[in-house]
Amino acid sequence: MELLDAINEIYITCPDCEKVFRVNEGNPRTAEQYEPTFMEEQELLLANLSEEWSKNVEKARVHQRTIGVARALEQISPLLPGYPRDFRDARFIGGLAPCDILSLDGYTAGKTESLTFIEIKAGKTARLNKTEREFKAVIDGGEMSYEIFHIPLDRFALTQ
């Protein structure tokens, strides 16, 4: 027991920082000078990756929720304040289409006077993607037509 008490009273001086330590207090090197072992480095890397992964997962969750809300808002946008047309003339065609709404301007009044394609964007900085820009260029250039497709019912054994 006397030996342990004697060890507790032994002091050494760090050769780098000249700080005085008790021998039983451990390594006298400073944290900046400490070189971690391979396993300590791997544990630190794993902890950093785990933290980064958690942040990315949370970002993805927020992004997915935002997309879901934006898609829902696209469908009800004719009912929102500031919609530029009569909401009763709006037909949602979104989904995979290059625009979201076709407005049959004047339809509910009894006479359709024009067709307006409307792309709904959330936020002020949202931009058209390549397909949407091409679609807009075709409309702006007047490169549109109207066609009728007759289904040949006799080929489907629906008539007798």
Q: State the Cα angle at 78 between 140 and 106, rounded to 5°.
A: 65
Distance linking the first and last C-alpha atoms of the chain: 111
Stretch 50-74: mean pLDDT, rounded?
Answer: 90
Tens digits of per-residue pLDDT, 114-156? 999 999 988 778 899 999 999 999 999 998 898 999 888 877 7
Give percent of the chain above pLDDT 90. Answer: 42
Measured CA to CA in angstroms, residue 144 lies from 87, 135, 138, 141, 149 at distances of 24, 10, 7, 8, 16
Helix (H, G, I), strand (E, B) or coil at 151: coil
Residue spans of the domains in the chain: they are 2-33
Question: What is the reported pTM?
Answer: 0.58
Residue 42, φ and ψ in degrees, nearest 5: -65, -40
Stretch 21-45: mean pLDDT, rounded?
Answer: 68
Stretch 54-70: mean pLDDT, rounded?
Answer: 90
Contact between 89 and 103 (Cβ < 8 Å): yes
Stretch 63-90: mean pLDDT, rounded?
Answer: 91
Helix (H, G, I), strand (E, B) or coil at 104: strand
Torsion, Cα of 150, 155, 159, 160 (10° steps): 150
Region of 95 on the Ramachandran plot (φ > 0 left; ψ -120 to 50 alpha; else beta): left
Beta bridge partners of 11: 22
DSSP designation for 159:
-
Those residues with Cβ within 8 angstroms of residue 105's Cβ, 6 or more apart along the chain or in another chain:
85, 86, 89, 112, 113, 114, 115, 116
